[in-house]
Structure 1
Amino acid sequence: MAVGLKKRRRIQLIVIGFVLITIATALIGFAFKDGIEFFRSPSQVLAEQIAPTEVFRIGGLVKEETVSQSGEITRFVVTDRAHDVPVTFSGILPDLFSEGTGMIATGRLVNGTFEANEILAKHDENYLPKEVADALKEQGVFQQDAAPTKN
């Protein structure tokens, strides 16, 4: 009878362990649900059906002669030289943000306009974010001499 009790206790502990691991995995997945941000190029953004609640990163080049500012709202167009996506941003832009340079923005796509809540810009005249360079290469419009990448 004592052997049966030990075996039953061992099985109970294994079952409790599996239940705890399942709960921990579910909690981690739930926590990451809103924390994972996927990168997309303008061509990918226009090709996919993206929910207005989905937070993601868009990257490309700031299209020449599209930056305008009215109050705290900045409007510009991000391009991968194949497709363009309009962007609005409320806040202070990075010092290195300018037309024709690489950038990555985090936010949501609402009614065809990307509403950014964070903008990251290049850090020197030769830098293009790796994700942006990869997206431009995918489109066949990347110019290595014009914008070498750094990791």
Structure 2
Amino acid sequence: MLTNVRPVLRLLQLAVPYLEKTKGAIVVTSSMLSFKPISIYMPYCMSKAALDIMVKCLALDLGPKGIRVNSINPAIIADDFIAKSLGLDPKVMSPELEKAGKSYPLGRLGTTEDMANLILFLSSKDSAFLTGQNICADGGSTWGGDSQVN
């Protein structure tokens, strides 16, 4: 909670006065593990679920001020983050990640570009009527596939 929730809330508290002036949008990065938890990652899943409800509460609070609040909830992304966070060699972990991606309904892992494009959309006028949403950008893995990396 100290890593995944408190800093986000504090940063948003600092940003709101500026966002009120610009009628800006907030996009929080959560995780699909708040929708489809894995028991060995319980603290992480709990912290991401806290972000999801924070997004909904802030959408209610900030909507009247013209500020939209949404989250993206990615599955595994094809980068070195997971391997590095587990202290593993990214090259050794790649086959395990690729196996997970192939099990997703779309047959691949998400990319940083996929997430950036979703954040751009949620920040743009094209999503002007979206607020309080937790958008699972997961290649369908919430409903099928295996996001567990051993």
Point out the structure with the larger strand share: 1
Question: TM (normalized to structure 1)?
Answer: 0.22
Question: TM (normalized to structure 2)?
Answer: 0.22
| Bigger CA radius of gyration | 1
Point out the structure with the larger helix share: 2
